[in-house]
Amino acid sequence: MKTILFDLDGTLIDSTEAILESFGVAYDTFGRAIPEDETIKKLIGHPLDIMFMMLGISQSQANDYVNAYKEHYRLISRQKTTLLPLAKEAVKLAATIGTLGIVTTKTASYSEELLEHLGIMHYFSVLIGRESVTHPKPHPEPILKALSHLNADAAHAWMIGDTPLDLMAANEAGVRGIGVLCGYGTKYDLQKHTECVLHDTLDAVKHINRL
Beta bridge partners of 13: 9, 83
Question: What interhelical angle do 141-150 and 164-173 show, nearest 10?
Answer: 60
Q: Are residues 151 and 50 in the same domain?
A: no
pLDDT score at 102? 98
CB distance 37 to 20 below 8 Å: yes
Mean pLDDT by 10 residues, the chain (211 residues): 96 97 98 97 95 97 97 94 97 98 95 96 98 97 98 97 98 98 97 98 98 92
Residue 123's domain comprises: 2-14+82-210
Check if 7 is active-site: yes
Q: Taking the model in full, what pTM does it have? A: 0.96
Q: Are residues 106 and 46 in the same domain?
A: no
pLDDT score at 201? 98
Q: Are residues 87 and 35 in the same domain?
A: no
pLDDT score at 49? 96
Q: Domain holding 175: CATH number?
A: 3.40.50.1000
Q: Are residues 89 and 160 in the same domain?
A: yes
Q: Are residues 42 and 139 in the same domain?
A: no
